[in-house]
Amino acid sequence: QKEVEQNSGPLSVPEGAIASLNCTYSDRGSQSFFWYRQYSGKSPELIMFIYSNGDKEDGRFTAQLNKASQYVSLLIRDSQPSDSATYLCAVYTGRRALTFGSGTRLQVQP
């Protein structure tokens, strides 16, 4: 079992819809969780991080964390074509480095 799992997609949503991206992790001791966005040919850039159970909102983005079920999700409201990218979930397990999932490719259709 991979430490951090994401559906590779592509996840296709129409412009203006809510995109829901999910991530599960295997280490119950994981402490914090990050969502990165990566455009094709570019390096990952941080969208947001979360470390407490519940929701955290930042503009059109909401991260949700459920430690009991070991999943974290990212919701993108009012999706725009410019949101089309690969979204990487990353988990900090206390070993200094982040463990990344393989990413979910999102396509927002105009």
Beta strand 104-109 pairing with 11-14: parallel
DSSP string, 27-61: -TT--EEEEEEE-TTS--EEEEEE-SSEEEEETTE
Residue range at the interface with another protein (CB under 8 A); choices 18-26, 54-62, 76-84, 91-99: 91-99
- We find the least distance from the C-beta atom of residue 60 to another protein, in angstroms, to be 19
**34 forms part of the interface with another protein (CB under 8 A):** yes
**61 forms part of the interface with another protein (CB under 8 A):** no
**97 forms part of the interface with another protein (CB under 8 A):** yes
User: What's the Cα-to-Cα distance from 5 to each of 23, 50, 54, 101, rounded to whole Å?
Assistant: 6, 17, 20, 5
Among 20, 22, 26, 32, binds another protein (CB under 8 A): 32
Cα distance from N-terminal residue to C-terminal residue, the chain: 36
- We find the least distance from the C-beta atom of residue 73 to another protein, in angstroms, to be 18
CA 37 to chain centroid, in Å, comes to 8
* Residues within the interface to another protein (CB under 8 A): 8, 31-32, 34, 42-46, 49, 51, 88, 90, 92, 94, 96-103
